[in-house]
Amino acid sequence: MVVQGIRRRLVTAAFGTASAISPAGETSAKLTTALLDAVTRLREDSSDADIERVAALLDLFELEQLHIPFDVQTRFHDAFPDTERLADARLSAIAVRLGFVAAPAESLVDR
């Protein structure tokens, strides 16, 4: 019951509606598409709302015990080829969740 409540909150944060994805079934494809789109938006706008959406989607992947697709990792890497933007702690945290190693902030500034 607790997991269902958490899942409902995350789905609402990620999609804007609690009924955006079914309780089971085609969840993986829908989450992958949504995460790809959300990571693409980060390139243009790293607003708090966009960061929170990506975080909610990553939480859903974890809750559903799904692996982060390689396409999502590639899209993130392509969106942030320069490590300077990753000095933003919010983006750095997403990079770590996507499997990238975060560099210390001081080394990013010195480059």
Local confidence band at 104 (pLDDT 50, 70, 90 cut-offs): low
Compute the mean pLDDT over every residue in the chain, rounded to the nearest whole number: 79
The residue type of 111 is: R
Long-range contacts for 99-107 (Cβ within 8 Å, ≥24 apart)?
Answer: 99/68, 99/73, 100/73, 100/76
CA 43 to chain centre: 13
- Band (pLDDT 50/70/90 cuts) for residue 58 is very high
pLDDT tens for each residue of 25-54:
567 788 888 999 999 998 887 788 889 999
**Number of domains comprising the chain:** 1
Q: Model's pTM, two decimal places?
A: 0.77
Task: Measure the CA angle with vertex 10, ends 7 and 13; round to 5°.
Answer: 150
